[in-house]
Every structure is written in structure tokens, then in C-alpha cells.
Amino acid sequence: MDTTPHSLAPSRSLAHDHALEQLMLRHLALEPDDPGPRLALLRIYFDERRPREFLQHAEILSPQVRQEPGSPIWREVAEMGRILMPDQPLFQHPDDIILAFDPPQPQAPLPRRLGDEEGATHWFADLARQYRSQCGAGFLAALDLGLARGGGRPGALYHARRLSHQVGGAQLCFKREDLLPPDMHLRLAVEGQALLAQRLGRSTVVTSGHAGPALAAAAARHGLKAVVYLSREQLERGDAAIAGMRLMGAQLHTAVSPGPEGPAISALRHVLADPARCLFAPGLMAAPEPYPTLVRDCVSAIGRECRRQCLAQWHREPDLLVARVGANPDALGLFPPFVQAPGVRLVGVEVRHGLEAGPDGSDLYARFHLPYTADEEQRRAWLLEAADYPAVRREQAWLQATGRIEHARVDAAAARRLIDDCARLEGIVPPIETAQAMAWACEQARNMDKEQIVVVLMAEPVGKDLWEIARTLRMNA
């Protein structure tokens, strides 16, 4: 069995059947020092959540493969072990862990209607201290395990073999977040906020607006009480989301504070009135620390998952990671776990909103380069539901400040060709913005070695773009 770390033949997918387990055990009885079958067993035990058997075989494998510094086999085992058994010392060796970066974190200002007289500044500062002291690697491991058990994860890592063959050069893979339920980034953030409440001994999580359905579901899984503040118009509308939240046991309240940010202000005031039992859960909305760091840690579960999948399939990390950037959390979800991995190139592709060039023949892009500190627009956007992920924009600026993130563009013609090729060769029609990131990745893959790996994040649904794609490709046929 080939266990060469840089072999490009993908390893066998995670197995579920008893017959394969027995076959591996019989092979190990004859050749106990062969790491390949033991690694296959560990993947089975991780997938089936069998910690006792996992630990037993990990202890045998450890001295066999850890002599090599940074052993890719052991790094895969350690990644799985930290999720399955967060407190097991065997999996906590510092050389095995790539931590996310932790740059300076400017504070989002409190809204004018929520002054220090309500204790908001002190409450946020105290929560930030608690998060830093109590929620380290064990918190992330517990989050990833919970997502694997009931959060619909993992998202597939798809090897685009036919497209890779046509492009030539490196192997192209797509991280298929688009196949998961919509608003996955929001679901990840809310799941982490509910887990934080549980670990801090809070019994109630409180939110507002569109984060309500995701929080109601997370609260039900964690045995928490959910309180959701909505505007009077939202409650009177009585749509399916309202009915779903009530079925999951959430308490729905009309916001007392006026204006579009009124529900969020009312939710925070609810928490400040009972801070010993309640935790504010703003989802992806901007808020002071620890929420920007917490959102980054939760949403980057996508990147942690991608690392594990690359180690399982290819026995190595990818050479190039590509995500679209702008008013979306894609880069925030994929890049942080790789920031301190010097062998991985991280590129954000600035995207335009259509498939045709502008009237002057130029392409117009949504700018990604943002100031490192919050600007006037950021201050006005605090807790506004209409804002385009204000917290995510600021965190993308932090990513840019690390110096690890490159930025690129691709022209509209390349994106159109990519959509046509991907649809014909892989049966996948990518959305317009994602297609631009994929087109740029293909251009780079063409000049890379066949043994190298390129991963592109697909996180947006294509449905919103299908008519424009069909019209534009037919027009340019």
C-alpha cells in the first residue's frame, strides 16, 4: 500500500463498512509496522466516532511516523484526534498545530443609544477576557465535532479531474460549500456563539433578525433557551421562519427600540439586564470583541476542514488556496488556518458583478483593499442588518494586514470560458463571482507542476445567477 506523503493518487474515502475494518486488522496482524492500513483504520474510527479504538491505534502509529519533523501522516492523525478527544495529550504536541493569526483588533464602537450607563463596555470587555482564557484549542475542537455530528458538515472537497486534465498543470479541487444549506457562514458563527454560551454556563442566547432561525436551531441542539427580537413588521408577516422558530422553542419579542437596528439594540439590552444567564449572539453582525475573533474562529471551520480533507486525500496541504473577496465571508472561512503555513499561497480574487466588460471595455471590480481601522461607514454600520457583513469586512482587512494574502483579478472573458468548461466537463455551473476566482485559479494551475494542488472555495448558490449566465453565454456563443 502506497503511503508516500506526496503521492497524487487520492487515498480511499472514509470507509463505513465492517468488511474493510476487518481486512485492515488482518493485514496488521501480519505486518504490524505498516502505517498505511493503520491510517485507514484511524479514518474509519474517526468517521464512526469511536474514540477508544482511535486512541489505541494512534498510540501504536505515533512512534512509527513522528520521527520525521512535520510528518504529514501524523498531522492528519493529530487533526482528527484533537476533534475526537480535545483533551488527549497525545494530540496536543505544538509542532502539530498551525494556529490562526491574532493581529491587533480595533474595537467597533457602541451605538449612541447604548451608552456606558448600561454597562455595555464592561460586559463586552469581561466576555472577551473569558473567551481568551477559557476557549482555546479545546473550544475549536468541540465546535468542529459538533458541526460533524449535527451541523451538516463536512462540505465536500471535489477533485475536478476532467477540468484539471484540460487545463494541464496542477490538480484543481473545489471546496463545495454551495452544496450545504444556505447561509452556512451565518450558521457556523451562530453555532459557535451557542457553544460559547454553553461552556460559560449561560442558559439563554439572545439575537435579532435574520440570525434568529439559525440560533433557534443551535440552541435546541445545545439545550439552551433562545430569545429572538424582531421588528413589528417581521412578526406580523408571520412567515415560515417565524413558525419554525416557535416550533424549535424560541421566544419571539417585538423590538422596543425604533429603527432598522432596533431589534439588535433590544436584544443587547435584554442581555445586559440579565448578564449572568444570557449571552448575546449577533451572528455575523459587527460587534466589539470578542465577537470579531469568535466569528473568525467559527467561520474558519471551513479552512480547518479543508486542511483535514487535503491531508486525507493527498497526504499534504494544498499549494494554492483561492477565494473570492469583497462583501462576503469566503476568505475569512478558508484562509485563517493556513496563514502560518508558509508553503501555502493564499490569493483573494477581487470580483465584478457581471460577465460582461464595462461600456469602455474595462472591467469594474468590487474593491477589497480596506483601511485597517474602522472607517466612517463601519461606524455607521454597527449592528445594521442591511450592512454587507461589516464585521467580515474588518476581518478581511486584518487578513490583508498579515501580508500573507495576495490579490488578483481576471477578465470577464476568462470567467465566461470557465463557466462553459466547468459545466461541460464537471457538470457544475459556478456562480458568476465564484467563476472569476476559479478562472484565475485555472490560469495559475496551467503553469504549475502536475503534483501540486489548487483549492478554490465555492460558497455561493448558483440559482441567483443562472438566467444571467444563460443569457450572456448565449449572447457570446
Q: How far apart, in whole angstroms, are the C-alpha atoms of residue 416 and residue 395?
A: 30
CB atoms within 10 A of CB 79: 24
Query: Looking at the DSSP assignment, which residues form a beta bridge with residue 350?
Result: 325
> What was the pLDDT predicted at 78?
82
What is this structure's pTM? 0.75
Alpha helix (H) ranges present in 154-273? 161-167, 184-199, 212-222, 232-237, 240-247, 262-273
> What was the pLDDT predicted at 67?
64
> 34 — phi, psi (to 5°)?
-85, 110
Q: Which amino acid is at 221?
A: R
Q: Report yes or no: 208 and 230 within 8 Å, Cβ to Cβ.
A: yes
> What was the pLDDT predicted at 110?
58
Angle, alpha carbons 75-79-85 (nearest 5°):
130
What does 238-251 look like in DSSP terms, one character per residue? --HHHHHHHHTT-E
Q: How far apart, in whole angstroms, are the C-alpha atoms of residue 129 and residue 139?
A: 15
> What was the pLDDT predicted at 424?
94
Long-range contacts (CB closer than 8 Å, 24 or more residues apart) made by 157-160? 157/306, 157/309, 157/310, 157/313, 157/455, 158/428, 159/10, 159/313, 160/422, 160/425, 160/426, 160/428
Chain CA centroid to CA 274, Å: 31
> What was the pLDDT predicted at 111?
56
> What was the pLDDT predicted at 151?
66
> Which is nearest to 187 in space by CA: 66, 64, 281, 290?
281
The pairing of strands 171-176 and 156-159 is antiparallel
**pLDDT mean by block of 10 residues, the chain; 477 residues:** 37 47 82 83 80 91 75 79 80 54 50 60 89 79 78 85 96 94 88 94 93 94 94 83 93 82 87 94 83 86 89 87 84 87 89 58 41 38 34 57 80 90 94 93 96 94 83 69
